[in-house]
Amino acid sequence: MALFADLIAPYEFQEQDLSAARLSYSWGHLLGTDQLGRDLFSRIVYGARVSLQVGIYSVLITLVGATLLGVVTGYYSGTWVDNSIQRVVDGFMTIPYLVFLLFVMSILGPGLLNIVIALSIEGVLINSRIIRAQVLSTKENPYVDAGRAIGASTPRLMILYILPNIMAPIIIIGTVSLGLFILAEASISYLGFGIPPPFPTWGGMLTRSGLDQFYVAPHLAIWPGFALSLAVFGFNMFGDALRDLLDPRLRGT
């Protein structure tokens, strides 16, 4: 839906018609219109594109950064490199997730790129700890010792011996994080630190139209909230199914 928003949406997201403001339903506006007469279905479809962009970009940066950090700290566990990085990660993890995001956004300002940066920083720090734990168990396997015995260099051991064997949890982290990042973007937009108008976001629609007009036109909050819940639920279910498929301990349960 997000990829083909231009074809699916019957109207442009900024197209206004004040004579049709706050419609709850009509044949021309299936989900109604907002206080400016903009088609709600079109804005939800375009909002899905924004949310998906934020989620995918943040996941890609998170996976690359967390994997690099997790593999290095896991391989060099117990050294000053690992201890130094883990203390930094511990410090960041004491800060509540949303508080950290709002702090970063207050410094960088609103915008899609800044939201991606804020989400990626938190995602890298949190998920690097998970990947590090996978590396700690993987590097003790006999095939890693065999590679070390034949003279494989440290980068070769990391890339060819350890990384392929921790790809399953990395993929699961990506799918689960996608839903979490979409929800986080909506939370940031809801609090006024998201992508500025006129670009529609689900969280922004809940704030700028849904709250202000809720008693007059409750559909302005109901439909964006439903779309957000459905997207997050779908990605979480996909992540759970992928975990069951890739984790041999969960097969057949």
Question: Which residues lie across from 129 on neighbouring strands?
Answer: none
| Per-residue confidence (pLDDT) for residue 41, from 0 to 100 | 87
What is the mean predicted confidence (pLDDT) over 3-27? Answer: 72
| Per-residue confidence (pLDDT) for residue 112, from 0 to 100 | 87
| Per-residue confidence (pLDDT) for residue 116, from 0 to 100 | 93
User: Is the predicted pLDDT of residue 2 greater than 70, yes or no?
Assistant: no
Q: Which of 63-77, 145-159, 209-223 has the lowest mean pLDDT?
A: 209-223
Query: In Å, what is the CA distance from 176 to each residue of 55, 142, 171, 194?
Result: 11, 31, 9, 22
Q: Which of 236, 200, 214, 186 is nearest to 42 (CA)?
A: 200
pLDDT band at 117 (very low <50, low <70, confident <90, very high): very high
- What is the DSSP track for 131-157? HHHHHHHHTTSHHHHHHHHTT--HHHI
User: Is the predicted pLDDT of residue 5 greater than 80, yes or no?
Assistant: no
pLDDT band at 128 (very low <50, low <70, confident <90, very high): very high
| Per-residue confidence (pLDDT) for residue 248, from 0 to 100 | 56
Please, what is the Cα angle at 179 between 7 and 185, to 5 degrees? 80
Q: Which of 25-29, 49-53, 197-201 has the lowest mean pLDDT?
A: 25-29
Candidate ranges 60-64, 75-79, 165-169; pick with highest mean pLDDT: 60-64
What is the C-alpha separation between 237 and 245, in angstroms, rounded? 12
Residue-range definition of the domain harbouring residue 143:
5-250
Domain count, the chain: 1
pLDDT tens profile 151-171: 888 889 888 889 888 888 898
pLDDT band at 210 (very low <50, low <70, confident <90, very high): low
Domain CATH code at residue 161: 1.10.3720.10
What percent of the chain lies above the pLDDT cut of 70?
A: 91
Q: Rounded to 5 degrees, what are φ and ψ at 33?
A: -135, 165
pLDDT band at 72 (very low <50, low <70, confident <90, very high): very high
